[in-house]
Chains A and B, each alone.
Chain A
Amino acid sequence: MSGHARLTELVSFTTISKVSTSDWVLASAVFVACAVEMVEALTIVLAVGVTRGWRSTLEGAAAAVVLLAVLVLLFGPALVHLVPIDALRVVVGALLLVFGLQWLRKAVLRASGYKALHDEDEIFRREVDELSALPRASGRDSVGFVVSFKGVFLEGLEVIVIVLTLGAPTHRLGLASAAAAAALVVVALVGLAVRHALTRVPENAMKMTVGILLTSFGTFWGAEGAGVSWPGGDLAILWLLAIYVATTFGLVVAMRRGRPVRMAEAA
C-alpha cells in the first residue's frame, strides 16, 4: 500500500471514529423520518402487488428508486459544493422548519384526537379495493406500474428532501444517505417478512419525534444562516429540542382537555 493510500485510509478511519453527538442526532432523525415514509410506501407497494401482480409493481417501484437516486446525485454534490454555506443554511432551515412544523402539527392533532390516527391496515384495504375494481390488461399492467411508481416516488421525495436538508449544511450527506439506506433495508425486511408488523409501528410517535428533530435543526441552521451565533454553539440544539418537546406535550395535553368539552357542547 502506498503512503498516500495509507494516509487516506487513516484519515477516513479518524473521520469515522469522530462521529459526534450531533451526528448521532442527525443520523437518528434521518433514520426515523425515512422509516416512517418507507412504511407508507411499502403499504402502497404491497397493496398494488397483491392486486395487480408483482412484476409491474416492482418495476414501478424500482423505476422510482432509480429516479430518486439520480435526483440525489444531481442535486446533492451541487448543493454542497456550489451554494454558499450561509445561503444553504437559510434555505435548508426554512425547508426543515416548514416540514418539521407540518409533521409536528399533524402528530399533535392525531395525539389529541382531532385527526384520525394513520392506519396502515385501513389504507392497505382501501388501496386493494380501489385497485381490484380497475380492469386488467394481459401482459404488463400499466396501472400497477404507475400506482407503485407514484407511491414510491412521492414518499421517497420526502426522504430525499430530508436527507439533503439534514446532510448538506454539515457536509454529512454520506452519513445521512447511510441512515436512509439502513431505514430502507430494515423496513423492507420487516415488511416483507410480516406485513402486519407494519401496523404495529408507532407511526404517530415516530412522526412526532421527527417533527421535533426537524424543527430543532431548522431553527438552528436557519438562524445561523441568517447571522445568529447561538450561545453554546451546537449545544443550542439541545435547548431547542427541550423547548419543542415541552411545547408538544403541553399542547397535546391542553388540546385533549379542550376536546371533550366541545364534543359535549355539540351533543
Chain B
Amino acid sequence: MRYVRAFGRFWRDFLIGDTPELAVGAVLVLLLAYLLRRADGAALLLIPAAVVTLLVVSCLRARPRRP
C-alpha cells in the first residue's frame, strides 16, 4: 500500500506539481472544445482564448502578494 501511495504521489507531483490550476484548466479547455465541436469558427477563437486566460491567471497567481 505504501508503494502504491508513493507511486501515486510521484505521478501527482510529476503531472500537477505546484500548478493544480493548469491541470484543472486543461480539462476545462477540452470540455469547452467538446461543447464547441459543431461551431468550428467559434472554436478557432474561444479555445485559444481560454488557454491564454489560463496562462495569464496562472502567471498572475505566481506573483508575490502585496503585504
Contact = CB atoms under 8 A, between A and B. Distances in A.
A251 interface: yes
B6 interface: no
**Which interface class (under 10, 10 to 19, 20 to 34, 35 or more) fits B?**
35 or more
A109 B44 contact: no
Interface in B44-67: 44, 47-48, 51-52, 54-56, 58-59, 62-64, 66-67
A240 interface: yes
A72 B15 CA distance: 18
A239 B48 CA distance: 9
A156 interface: no
Contacts of A79: none
Contacts, number: 107
Interface in B1-26: 14-17, 19, 22-23, 25-26
B16 to A, nearest CB: 8
Nearest to A105: B58
Nearest to A104: B55
A223 B47 contact: yes
Contacts of A225: 30
Contacts of B41: 231
A230 B36 CA distance: 11
A93 B22 CA distance: 13
22 contacts: A90-B30, A95-B15, A97-B22, A97-B26, A98-B16, A101-B55, A102-B19, A105-B58, A108-B55, A109-B59, A215-B55, A222-B33, A223-B33, A226-B33, A227-B37, A228-B37, A228-B47, A244-B48, A244-B51, A247-B55, A255-B63, A265-B66
Interface of A: 90, 93-95, 97-98, 101-102, 104-105, 108-109, 114-115, 157, 215, 218-219, 222-223, 225-231, 236, 239-240, 243-244, 247-248, 251, 255, 258, 262, 265-266
Given A98-B26, A104-B55, A228-B43, 15 more contacts: A95-B15, A97-B51, A98-B23, A101-B19, A101-B22, A101-B58, A109-B62, A219-B48, A223-B36, A228-B36, A228-B47, A229-B40, A230-B40, A230-B44, A231-B40
